[in-house]
Chain A
Amino acid sequence: MTAWRASVSATALLAILLLLSAAPMPAGAQPEAEAAVADPFEPVNRRIFAFNEWFDHWVLEPGAMVWGALFPHSFHLSLRSAVDNARTPLVLVSDLLQGKPRSAALDLSRFVVNSTLGIGGLFDPATHFGLERNDEDLGQTFGVWGIPAGPYLVIPLFGASSPRDLVGTIAEAVPQSFILSWVVNLAANTADIVNRRTLLLETIREERELAFDLYAAVRNAYVYRRRNQVADAREDENATADDFYYFDDEEEVD
């Protein structure tokens, strides 16, 4: 049970990330057969997406606005930094599982520097010393191992995911649920989610305005961003298929 709660929070985090890249109105859109991204559950996904949007509109966004008014921007940044720092051991595990000892060493140094000099991660002196943040997680690790993402999923309150990423997210939430009591867990995760949403208030508002089909935009952003992260970890030469673009000489193709 605790794992589930924790995983919910972790997923919500992901959901926010997703929102970052998307934006407008799913006005009763018709699912289309010819989609670039595998989305066999599109009708169900769209419903859940609409629910998540509703939840964001009435709960998360207003909460984030209050949070934004209560604390200064520097506080929001520091809190996010501290949470990222606390999560570094998980990143380190993924570094190791992907067979990247150098990244693991780097993340370990980051963790030590930021936990001490950075006062528990509230600041990020490591980056100033040239120790740049790695962005790894279990879902990516599974991808590097060659496990396919599977169909696109929208999880209630969590947002965009896939079977592979969902398993990764839940597995990553387990240790946290053992270390902290569920009350602390819930409070910490809620604060983190609201805080991140605060930092994205303008971005998400703007992206919502820009999008023609928010659902498709978020899905596309999620799927391609994850693909990119996995390709990066494998050091693939080219993440984009060669036949992706149409050129003049073949534009009459149908």
Chain B
Amino acid sequence: MRRWGALGLTLVAVGIASGQGRAASEPGPRGVIQETVDQVLAVLNDPVLSKPERLLAIEAIAYRRFDFRSMSKQVLARNWKRFSEAQKEEFQREFKDYLAYTYGARLNRFDQQQVEIIGERTGPRGHVTVLTKIVGGENSGATVDYVLIDREGRWRIFDVIVEGIGFVSNYRDQFRQVLGRGGPDHLLAELRKKNHSGSPEATPAAPAGGRSSR
């Protein structure tokens, strides 16, 4: 009996390991952050990559991990309703490029650090915050929290909070100002301007890379 039990467990383990794409094998919030952090660190510690290359690589990670639709709604909050369907579409597209670039640009400043996952807490509405801390380097001790939500069995990031400063709250405040000045069209124009200002060597694969980082 015991042998069969062990075999059963092994089969289950193999099934989980090979069952990519199935909901049962998707990592939990902590696992998602661990993977994301490992990938970002691998990029940051890769001595072959130039700074612009690192930026593009981190942007690519953000594209896979972030739930840009949720982030767009969170950032516009009550103003989301002021946008027409077409404007919503465009906002999501442009904000996605902008966010990926911003995330990449900010992480790109860090060198040779480690990231420790220090905890996890579940919010009242099912979102989960994974708390991490930077260890070593010039920013040692800085806290980076990731807020995730379950989207059809996959945990996706929709807010990143660095030292208490959240992407969502920061852009919500800024966009509120911009919207107060000129409404959705004005905000979209500003976003486009940010995304397309920069060097001409834009990479089609990662549209946000069109901005010069230095």
Chain A residues proximal to chain B, CB less than 8 Å: 21, 27, 29-30, 32, 34-37, 77, 127, 132-133, 135, 202-203, 206, 209-213, 215-217, 219-221, 224-229, 231-232, 237-240, 242, 244-247, 251-254
Q: Which A residues are in CB contact (< 8 Å) with B181?
A: 27, 29-30
Whether A225 contacts B78 by the Cβ 8 Å rule is no
Within 8 A of A (CB), among B161-196: 161, 163-166, 168-178, 180-181, 190, 194
25 pairs, A vs B, C-beta closer than 8 Å = A29-B180, A32-B180, A133-B141, A206-B105, A209-B197, A213-B177, A213-B178, A216-B177, A219-B173, A220-B169, A225-B163, A226-B164, A228-B165, A231-B164, A237-B121, A238-B121, A239-B164, A242-B123, A245-B147, A245-B168, A247-B125, A247-B127, A247-B149, A253-B78, A254-B81
Q: Which B residues are in CB contact (< 8 Å) with A135?
A: 141
Complex Cα distance A232/B127, Å? Answer: 21
Q: Which A residues are in CB contact (< 8 Å) with B159?
A: 245
Chain B residues proximal to chain A, CB less than 8 Å: 73-74, 77-78, 80-81, 102, 105, 109, 121, 123-125, 127, 129, 138, 140-141, 143, 147, 149, 159, 161, 163-166, 168-178, 180-181, 190, 194, 197, 213-214
How many whole Å from B116's CB to the nearest CB in chain A? 12
Complex Cα distance A70/B78, Å? Answer: 50
Complex Cα distance A77/B174, Å? Answer: 33
How many whole Å from B185's CB to the nearest CB in chain A? 14
Whether A216 contacts B125 by the Cβ 8 Å rule is no
Instruction: Knowing A132-B141, A133-B141 are in contact, say whether A224-B177 is a contact too (CB < 8 A).
Output: no
Q: Which A residues are in CB contact (< 8 Å) with B171?
A: 212
Whether B170 contacts A220 by the Cβ 8 Å rule is yes
Complex Cα distance A215/B181, Å? Answer: 14
In the complex, what residue of chain A is closest to B172 when comparing beta carbons? A36
Query: In the complex, which of the residues B78, B161, B170, B213 contacts A217, with contact meaning CB atoms closer than 8 Å?
Result: B170
In the complex, what residue of chain A is closest to B81 when comparing beta carbons? A254
Q: Which B residues are in CB contact (< 8 Å) with A244?
A: 168-169
Q: Which A residues are in CB contact (< 8 Å) with B175?
A: 212
Complex Cα distance A251/B74, Å? Answer: 9
How many whole Å from A28's CB to the nearest CB in chain B? 8
Whether B105 contacts A210 by the Cβ 8 Å rule is yes
Instruction: Knowing A30-B181, A210-B102, A210-B194 are in contact, say whether A246-B77 is a contact too (CB < 8 A).
Output: yes
In the complex, what residue of chain A is closest to B178 when comparing beta carbons? A212
Whether A224 contacts B166 by the Cβ 8 Å rule is yes
Beyond A30-B181, A132-B140, A221-B165, list 4 extra A-B contacts (CB 8 Å): A29-B181, A37-B173, A210-B105, A247-B125
How many whole Å from B180's CB to the nearest CB in chain A? 5
Q: Which B residues are in CB contact (< 8 Å) with A215?
A: 177
Whether B173 contacts A240 by the Cβ 8 Å rule is no
Q: Which B residues are in CB contact (< 8 Å) with A226?
A: 164
Q: Which B residues are in CB contact (< 8 Å) with A220?
A: 165, 169-170, 173-174
Complex Cα distance A226/B173, Å? Answer: 17
Instruction: Knowing A32-B180, A217-B170 are in contact, say whether A245-B125 is a contact too (CB < 8 A).
Output: yes
Instruction: Knowing A29-B177, A216-B174, A247-B125 are in contact, say whether A225-B165 is a contact too (CB < 8 A).
Output: yes
Whether B194 contacts A32 by the Cβ 8 Å rule is no
Whether A212 contacts B165 by the Cβ 8 Å rule is no
Whether A212 contacts B74 by the Cβ 8 Å rule is no
Q: Which A residues are in CB contact (< 8 Å) with B143?
A: 228, 232
Complex Cα distance A225/B169, Å? Answer: 12
Q: Which A residues are in CB contact (< 8 Å) with B124?
A: 242
Complex Cα distance A224/B129, Å? Answer: 17
* Interface core residue of A77, A219, A225, A245 (most chain B CB under 10 Å): A245
Complex Cα distance A252/B79, Å? Answer: 10
Complex Cα distance A210/B195, Å? Answer: 9
Query: In the complex, which of the residues B73, B164, B170, B194 contacts A227, with contact meaning CB atoms closer than 8 Å?
Result: B164
Q: Which A residues are in CB contact (< 8 Å) with B123?
A: 242, 245
Instruction: Knowing A127-B140, A212-B178 are in contact, say whether A224-B74 is a contact too (CB < 8 A).
Output: no
In the complex, what residue of chain B is closest to A22 when comparing beta carbons? B170
How many whole Å from A103's CB to the nearest CB in chain B? 12
Whether A217 contacts B176 by the Cβ 8 Å rule is no
